[in-house]
Amino acid sequence: MARYTCFFTVATPLSQLRPVLTEVLHACNLPVIYDSADYMMARELPGKVAFAKLVTVEVLIDHTTATDQGVQVNLVIKNEELPLQINNHCRQIFDQLHTRILENSHCHLIASVADGDK
- pLDDT tens column, 51-96: 999 999 999 999 888 777 788 999 999 999 888 888 899 999 999 9
Q: Kindly state whether residue 40 falls inside one of the protein's structural domains.
A: yes
Residue 118 pLDDT > 60: no
Q: Kindly state whether residue 48 falls inside one of the protein's structural domains.
A: yes
Q: Kindly state whether residue 114 falls inside one of the protein's structural domains.
A: no
Supply the pLDDT for residue 60.
Answer: 95
Supply the pLDDT for residue 24.
Answer: 93
Supply the pLDDT for residue 116.
Answer: 53
Q: Kindly state whether residue 37 falls inside one of the protein's structural domains.
A: yes
Sequence-ordered strand ranges (E) for the chain: 2-10, 32-35, 39-43, 56-62, 71-79, 109-114
Number of domains in the chain: 1
Q: Kindly state whether residue 97 falls inside one of the protein's structural domains.
A: yes
**Residues of the domain holding 25:** 2-105
Q: What is the CATH number of the domain that holds 33?
A: 3.30.530.20
pTM, 2 dp: 0.87
Residue 2 pLDDT > 50: yes
CA pair distance 73, 85, nearest whole angstrom? 28
Q: Kindly state whether residue 22 falls inside one of the protein's structural domains.
A: yes
Q: Kindly state whether residue 113 falls inside one of the protein's structural domains.
A: no
